[in-house]
Structure formats: structure tokens, C-alpha cells
A and B are shown apart, each in its own frame.
Chain A
Amino acid sequence: MVDVTPADAVPPAEVGEVELYHPHSWWTKYVFSQDAKVIAVQYAATATAIGLVALVLSWLMRLQLGFPGTFDFITPEAYYQFITVHGMIMVIYLLTALFLGGFGNYLIPLMVGARDMVFPYVNMLSYWIYLLAVLVLVSSFFAPGGPTGAGWTLYPPQAIMSGTPGGQDWGIILMLSSLILFIVGFTMGGLNYVVTVLQGRTRGMTLMRLPLTVWGIFTATVMALLAFPALFVACVMMLLDRVLGTSFFMPAIVEMGTQLQHNGGSPILFQHLFWFFGHPEVYIVALPAFGIVSDLISTHARKNIFGYRMMVWAIIAIGALSFVVWAHHMYVSGMNPYFGFFFATTTLIIAVPTAIKVYNWVLTLWRGDIHLTIPMLFALAFIVTFVNGGLTGLFLGNVVVDVPLSDTMFVVAHFHMVMGVAPILVIFGAIYHWYPKVTGRMLDETLGRFHFWVTFVGAYLIFFPMHYLGLMGVPRRYAELTDMTIMTDSARHLNSFISIMAFIVGFAQMVFLFNLIWSIRHGREAGGNPWRATTLEWQTPQTPPAHGNFGKELPIVYRWAYDYSVPGAKEDFIPQNVPGDFAPSREPA
């Protein structure tokens, strides 16, 4: 055991008080606010709103796939537009924005014991540029020709040709501009998240005392800052190809009998740039989810996280490794087999730190005092779902298995399980967990349980059959498959079943939205620390936390974030800012 020094014996490493910006009017308090908590709610509300658009688009897609030929207004062009915008919104405008912009803004300053982000003005700009990006994206629905239908990967050359919806209209231009804006806005926010973790920590909050949520968001932000420039470069270059006729990505091409003016470009170059961003993006979404889930499990199982150090190292290792696996998305692009072998190897290696995390979550649960609260249910559902999605990832990470499966529904099922359902389960769990801090009231329990079970079981009923469809050879990216021989009766019925489940799960989300709005006024009063948690955000003098977060004095941190069920302590949790010499908690092996 390390010797424990009483607090008063330490020379105070004084934390300079940040000059806090104080709002003067309603506008600067709630609209053009520089308070990270308000910005977080703005981010979350915008992401949820645009997420609803994506939900409706997925319904429309399922209408077409489940009941082909029934709905005349869903033309093949419209179907491609739905697919593209659904994917783009979910990956970038919802998941990235909600995890980093929403949870990052709310939790980082509170969890590290800061009054606000270090650059509040830039933080505010970040949100407004994000909103602008969302509006540009939405505007493409009203532009001539509609939004782009190039698929969320926007592969050239088809993305900017007349055969693709929006390719020669406004669709692709608005899409690329919106992405460029998003990246500019994100960079502003990202600087804040990183530098606040580096410089905003209160006294005693060493890196190894940070809650894993902060570790996850911090590492994901660093990755995003380094990965998004690749998308930026790809977008700028494609925009030049489309608007000014350059040939970065466009090869010589004959379209409808006319030779286009492009010449000699490389579509593969785009794929490299896109996936250099695209694969880290998976972990940009996953790492915050990993971090949040660790905290949910520890809090609701009343037990310290198993292997904290290993969890931190695994987060860092995943962050680093995720930059050298990108080409496993390009096995079918005709690359050198040795190249494919290299990327298959790195892909399998990255499973190791990920598996360590899963083991540690399970071992945290082992002999814990598990409270099956709604956040805990979502956290458990995440572990199961992530393992499921991860296992099919091992299939697809191998070149020989990926090549036949690459264009089938199997891939759709895989990435929805691992990158769609799993992180969204964490988002739900996190909302049920932190909603009492944001609003001061609990979400309704009955509605919450209904929401959980329908979402969890429903998601499996949607995506499990999709694996089967994929193994049967049902291809993805097709608007209509009725005449194909692989579309047997069972495959068609399965498709209709998936669609009906998708409507039911979507309906459950409406119940959740109702709960979110209804509970703001009618929920049960939560008090300051309803989950009896240790981290600093639950120790604020007011709930919801007031401007400046911690009242007059910043908290001083005396212990790590996971002192649950410490033998000899009065209660089963010891907040991080409570001094005192308790016997050390059980040491993880």
C-alpha cells in the first residue's frame, strides 16, 4: 500500500480560477450560451431531432424492403437517398455529435471538477457551426433533385455522376459542404474537450483518477481530431471534382455515350482517405460508449471497476491501433493480397484490447450487488450486443470470409449490431443515468422498462434474421429483389417480419421521447445523487448544477472514482471529494 498523506500536509498546487463568462440576458443564457451544460443540451436536442429524421428514413427503407412494390412513392432513386442520408445522419450527425458534443460537453467539466470548458466562446461557435451543418444537410431534401443517393460512403465516381440521385444536382454539393462544416465545428469543440481534460482538472484529479467515461471521451476526441481531417481532405477534393471539373478521384469515364471531361483520377485514393477517417470513426463512437458503460456497471453493481489500469491502457491501445486497420473496409477493392493480410492481422489484434474490456466488465459484475435499474439493463444489453457484433467482426475481418459476404445483408447486420445498436443502447443507458442530474427529476420507471425491453428484444429480432439473410446471399444496396432466385418465400417473409419489428422498435422510441419531455415537469424529484455515485458530477451543491458548477470552492479529489462497497466505510460509496483514511478497497487482481 502506498503511504497515505493527510490532506493538510500537502503544499497546495493552486488551481488558477478561470475567468468565467457570466451571461447577462436570456439570449446569452439559453441561446448563445457559453456554458458547456447548455451547449451540451443544445447538441443533444439537435442530434435527437436529426436522429428522428434518420429513424423515419429507416422506416421508409423497411417499407420498401419488407413490402416491395406496394408503395409507389418509394422509387429506387428515393430508396438510395434514404439509405445515404440515414447512414450519414446516424454515424456522424447523431452518434458522433451526441457522444462528444452532448455527453462530452456535459460530463467533462463536471467530472474533472472544472467550472466550464477552457475556451467557452469557441465551444459555443462549435455548436452553432454544427447546427449550420445539420441545416445544410436538411436543406438538401428541398433542393432540386433531392439529397444525394451515393451511399453513406459517397464513393466516386458514381457519387458525382448523373445516374446517382443528386450526383449532378445539388444533393452531393450540399452533403459535402455539410460535412466540411461539421468537421470545422467539431474541431472547435474537440480542442475544448482535449484541453479541458489536460488543463481543467481540479486539484488531486490525476489522470489515473479520472472516471473511465472521461478517458473514453478524451481518447475518442483525440482520435477524431486526427481522423476527421482525412474526411475533410476527401470532401474538399471531391467538391472540386464536382464543381470545378478537376480529376482527383474521377477516372476517364463515358456516360450515356459522352466522354466526361475528367481524366485519370483514382477512386481508390478516395477510399483510402475515406476509410482512414472511417475506421477510427467506429472507435470514436465506441470508446465513449466503453467508458460510459464502465461507469454505469460499476455504479449500479456497487463494485469497483475490475482492472482500472488495464481499462485505461486498453482504451489507449484501441485508439492507437484503430489508425492502422482502415483498409479492411477495402478487401474487395482489388488490392494486393499481402496488403489484405497485413490489415487482417491488425484487425484481429485490435480484438485483444477490446476483449480485455469485455472481460473486465463481466468480472466487475461478478459477485457485485447488481441493481437492475434501467441504466444497468441498458449497460448489460450493450455488453451482450457488443460481443455479438464483435464476433461477426472477426468473420468479416478475414479476407477470405469477407470477400463473399461483403456485398450481403450480413455486413449490414454486423455494423448495425456493433456500431448502431450497441452505442445507442449506451446512449439510452446514459440518458436514464444522467437525466436526473440534468433536470433534477427521474425518468418514469414503467415507461423506461417498456422502452428497454421493446428496444432490446426488438433490435435482436431486426438484426439477427439479417445475418441469416446475408448468409443466404441476399445482397445489400438493392431497392428491389423480388425476381431474384435467392429471394425464396422464407427470405421474403423474413424481410416483412424485420420491417414490422422495425416499426415496433421505432414506436418504442416515441414512448421514450414522450418520457423525456413529460418527466421534465412530472418526474419524481431526484435529489442530488440518486444513484449514490462517487464521481464529482453528483457532488455539485445544486441539481441541476448552476453556472460555474461547484459553487464557491472547487472540489478537491482524494480518491479514484470507484470506491464502492469499501469495507469499513459507513456507506457503500465514498465520493471522490471525501477525504479520510479508509481501508483500501479490495484490490483487483
Chain B
Amino acid sequence: MSVILVFLLVIAGFAGWWLSHQRLTAKPWLEQGLAGDFVGFDRSALPTAKIGLGVFLAVVGCLFSLFTSAYFMRMGLPDWQPLPLPRLLWLNTGVLVLSSVALQCAVVAARKGQIDNVRLGLATAGLTTLAFLVGQLMAWRQLTADGYLLASNPANSFFYLITGMHGLHILGGLIGLGRTSTGAWSGARPERLRLSVELCAMYWHFLLFVWLCIFALLAGWAATFIDICRQLLT
């Protein structure tokens, strides 16, 4: 459970930092009126949708940390036999990085108001993301063809479970991307379009980060890394 505790520690640190800016030591029973020093303590200047997405990503992060925790606990049991990762995953990773980069380009273009480049970025991101999902499915098929079935070993079960869960999140993101693209082609208000492109980019970057962590985990580097840390500590 150490992974999820570390994750929660990060969340707690963030929450603590935020709370420390909220004047929790104020004595509200003494303060009446709209005293000047309250201004700025009301709400964040960030758009509400971004904060909402941020909170949601914290929940998603929590979910994947828990899967990772379970992975490490199950891994220690004797019947664990790691499976060889298909080479295809490297290509998929590259494709996912591409889609993230494309969305970042779309964000830059949206800030400059270049609608054509926004459309180009969105389309590239959509296509590369679809390619990533197809690639993941092909990796699954390759593994099953080689006899690494879902139920035959816990390492296999976790591989399918975690990659599947990540894929589902990407699929959900595609709905958002689809709505943004509809807006980009049917002429949504520029500031609104900019916000939705930024939200998509934020989600994609986060899922790319999650994927890199998962990849490291499934490839066994994460376990090696933790072993090294443990040896350094003891």
C-alpha cells in the first residue's frame, strides 16, 4: 500500500499548500463586513472547468496508484511469472507522445487564434490516439496468440487489467476530444474553444504520464527502482 500512501501524501501536500493560503487562522467572529484583505481569498482565478478536471485527474491518479499498490503486493507472491512485453508497446508509446504533442500545438495555436492550426492539431491528436488504441489491441492479440492468457498468471491478469483501464480512460477522453473538434469545425467562440482545447491537452498529458508510469511498472523497471531505493535506505 506504500504507492497509494505516497500518492496521498502528494495530494495532502498540495491540499496543505492550498489551505495555508486560505487564512485558516482567521477569527471570523471578529471580522465583519467585506474587509479589504479578504479579496483574493475568495476563489481561484483559474477557470472552474480546469479545477474540476484537476480534481478528476486526482481521482484518476488515485485509481492507478491503487492498481500499482495491488500490483506490488500481488507480485511478491510465489506464483508470479513476469511476461515479456511486446515490442509494439514502444511504438504505441511514441504514438501517444505524438498525440500529446499535437494537442499542445493545438493549445498554442488556439492562444494565437489560428483556427486552422487548431483543427490540424485536434485531427492529428484524434488520429494518433485512435492509432494508440488499435496498437494496444494488437499488443493484446499478440500476447494471447503467444499463450499469455488473462487467467493463466497474475502478471498477465494485471497487464490486461491495467492497460485496459488506461485504454478506457483514453476512450473517454476521445468523447471530450470529439466535442472539442465539433466546436472547432462549427465555429465555437474562440475563448470557449481555447478552454476546451486546453482541457483536452491537460487530460492527454496526464494520461501520457500515467501510461509512462504503467509502462515502467509492467516492464519491471519500477520494481528495480524501488529495490535500489530500498537498498539505499537500509
Q: Which residues of A contact B (CB under 8 A)?
A: 1-7, 9-11, 13, 118-119, 187, 191, 194-195, 198-201, 203-209, 222, 225-226, 229-230, 232-233, 236-237, 240, 244-248, 261, 263-266, 269, 272-273, 276, 304, 308-309, 312-313, 316, 320, 323-324, 556, 558-560, 562-563, 579-582, 584-585, 587-588
Contacts and interface: CB of A to CB of B under 8 A. Distances in A.
Most buried by A among B30, B59, B161: B59
Contacts of B44: 198-199
B31 A4 contact: yes
A111 B165 CA distance: 38
Nearest to B7: A226
Contact of A4 (B12, B28, B35, B67): B35
Interface in B64-83: 66-67, 70, 73-74, 77-80
8 contacts: A2-B31, A191-B56, A208-B28, A226-B62, A246-B157, A247-B79, A579-B33, A587-B29
Given A265-B154, A276-B4, A5 B35 contact: yes
Contact of A11 (B8, B39, B67, B150): B39
Contact of B151 (A6, A205, A246, A588): A246
B19 interface: yes
B55 interface: yes
B24 interface: yes
Query: Which 3 pairs across A and B sit closest by C-beta, in order of nearness?
Result: A264-B79, A560-B28, A246-B157
B32 interface: yes
A119 B11 CA distance: 23
Contacts of B234: none
A272 B74 CA distance: 12
A205 B22 CA distance: 12
Main DSSP-derived SS at the A contact region: loop
B77 A266 contact: yes
B34 A204 contact: yes
Given A195-B51, A199-B44, A266-B73, A206 B59 contact: no
B148 to A, nearest CB: 13
Interface string B1-32: 10011001001100100010011111111111
A191 B36 contact: no
Contacts of A585: 29
Given A198-B43, A203-B42, 7 more contacts: A5-B35, A119-B52, A198-B44, A264-B154, A269-B73, A323-B5, A560-B29
B134 interface: no
A207 B24 contact: yes
A259 to B, nearest CB: 15
A560 B38 CA distance: 13
A88 to B, nearest CB: 21
B36 A5 contact: yes
A312 B24 contact: yes
Given A207-B24, A246-B154, A272 B73 contact: yes
Interface residues of B, number: 54
Contacts of A240: 150, 157, 161
Given A7-B33, A264-B78, A225 B28 contact: no
A265 B1 CA distance: 16
Most buried by A among B34, B38, B59, B66: B34
B85 interface: no
A244 B32 CA distance: 62
A13 B42 contact: yes
A334 B43 CA distance: 48
A581 B23 contact: no
Contacts of B216: none
B74 A248 contact: yes
Main DSSP-derived SS at the B contact region: helix
B231 interface: no
Most buried by A among B33, B48, B59: B33
B88 interface: no
B29 A4 contact: no
Contacts of B42: 13, 201, 203-206
B24 A309 contact: yes
B138 interface: no
B29 A308 contact: yes
Most buried by A among B25, B26, B29, B63: B29
B171 interface: no
B82 to A, nearest CB: 14
Contacts of B78: 264
Nearest to B39: A13
Interface in B161-215: 161, 165
A367 B66 CA distance: 49
A580 B32 CA distance: 8
A558 B43 CA distance: 16
B41 A206 contact: yes
A269 B70 contact: yes
Nearest to B60: A229
Nearest to B78: A264
Most buried by B among A7, A191, A200, A581: A191
Contacts of A264: 77-80, 154
B74 A245 contact: no
B194 to A, nearest CB: 17
B28 A10 contact: no
A206 B23 contact: yes
A583 to B, nearest CB: 10
A199 B28 contact: no
A29 to B, nearest CB: 25
B58 interface: yes
A320 B73 CA distance: 24
A204 B33 CA distance: 8
B25 A309 contact: yes
A337 B9 CA distance: 25
A336 to B, nearest CB: 14
A581 B15 CA distance: 34
Contact of B55 (A194, A207, A312, A562): A194
Nearest to A222: B15
B136 to A, nearest CB: 18
B8 A225 contact: no
B36 A207 contact: no
